[in-house]
Amino acid sequence: MTARDASPSLVFHRSVPLHHQIQRLLRARIESGQWGPGERIPTEMALVAHFGVSRATLRESLRALERDGLIARHRRRGTFVRQVSPAGMARRTITNLVLGYESEIRVVGGAVAPAPPHVVGFLGMRRGEPLQRFVRVEVVDGAPLAVVVNYMPLPLGRRIRERDLARASMLEVLRDKLGIGLGRIRQQLEARMPDEEIAALLEIDVTQPVLLVRLLVSDTALRPVEIADTFYRADRYRFEVEMPMLPGRRARRDAGSVARRRPAPGAPLRPAKGTVRIKALAVATARGIPLTGGHDG
């Protein structure tokens, strides 16, 4: 780093955590080859002076790079770029059970947190009551595709280890590792503006909308298990609905007539003539391949 380098402090976004923006700048220097494998990077004090931030903020940025295997920190010797470049590093991928795409999983962490308002009704908890919260990032083609946030009661959450979520999806952990028989899963879909945490993890700013897919997961006895909120980057994921042409007036009239007829006792229910069937299609645009709808939390 030289004196002629322009200070990035003028371009920091006020709504995105500084530590995340700084680690992105440092990551870019490594991935572009500006700092090569085995090279020692500037000292913490030099980086603090360059970015104009606190030492605590800088260290949080360096911890993220170390966790991702980009740098190695040695006491008294300094911080060095890892000898194995990011492109050559072996990365574990997880296949989404429903959508079918593969992604690298970065586990941000798991912690006890107060229950937010949107989970209390389904999970049968009081607002602010402690629950387990897990956060992960799905990375496809080297860039974040989605942030997954799971909420569940503490007794269940304490049985799940963070390293389990780096190897399998949450539904696989619940089903295969914990032996929970999964039953009904209800899915909700809406557009949302991200908060600071979600925007930072998706590497966007808070002015860019995201697509929220919410799963309400129950077991075979219809007891609530968890709520999974998945925030997709709107520029990399979309949700499509495919349906046939609306039937003509006569077909609708016939359908209404059929719908008004009472079925015989015990007779199976059949859709009325002219019923419009809706087929949902989710598309993971990261790979440009249409995939059947839904999400694996």
- As a whole number of angstroms, the distance between CA 59 and CA 51 comes to 12
Task: Tell which residue, 155, 147, 162, has the closest CA to residue 180.
Answer: 155
- pLDDT of 12: 72
pLDDT band for position 85 (cuts 50, 70, 90): very low
The residue-averaged pLDDT of 114-126 equals: 96
Q: Report CA 37 to chain centroid distance, whole Å.
A: 30
- As a whole number of angstroms, the distance between CA 131 and CA 129 comes to 6
Domains parsed from the chain with CATH numbers: 8-87 (1.10.10.10), 93-234 (3.40.1410.10)
- Measured over the CA atoms of residue 104, residue 108, residue 109 and residue 113, the dihedral's sign is negative
Kindly state the tokens that stand for 98.
């429903």
pLDDT digit string (tens) for 146-169?
A: 999 999 999 999 999 988 898 888
The residue-averaged pLDDT of 92-98 equals: 59
Q: pTM of the prediction?
A: 0.57
The residue-averaged pLDDT of 226-255 equals: 78
Per the DSSP assignment, residues forming a β-bridge with 147 are 137, 231
Between 205 and 280, whose confidence is greater?
205
Kindly state the tokens that stand for 80.
């060095």
Between 28 and 87, whose confidence is greater?
28
Is the CB of residue 96 less than 8 Å from the CB of residue 213? no
Tell me how far CA of residue 146 lies from CA of 32, 104, 152, 178, 296, in angstroms. Answer: 24, 11, 20, 25, 12
pLDDT band for position 297 (cuts 50, 70, 90): low
pLDDT digit string (tens) for 166-207?
A: 888 899 999 999 999 999 999 999 999 999 999 999 988 888
- As a whole number of angstroms, the distance between CA 160 and CA 153 comes to 11
- pLDDT of 242: 76
Q: Looking at the predicted structure, is the pLDDT value of residue 219 above 90?
A: yes
Q: Looking at the predicted structure, is the pLDDT value of residue 282 above 50?
A: no
Q: Under DSSP, is residue 250 helix (H, G, I), strand (E, B) or coil?
A: helix
DSSP-derived secondary structure letter, 176: I
Pick from 19-23, 174-178, 246-250 the range whose average pLDDT is largest: 174-178
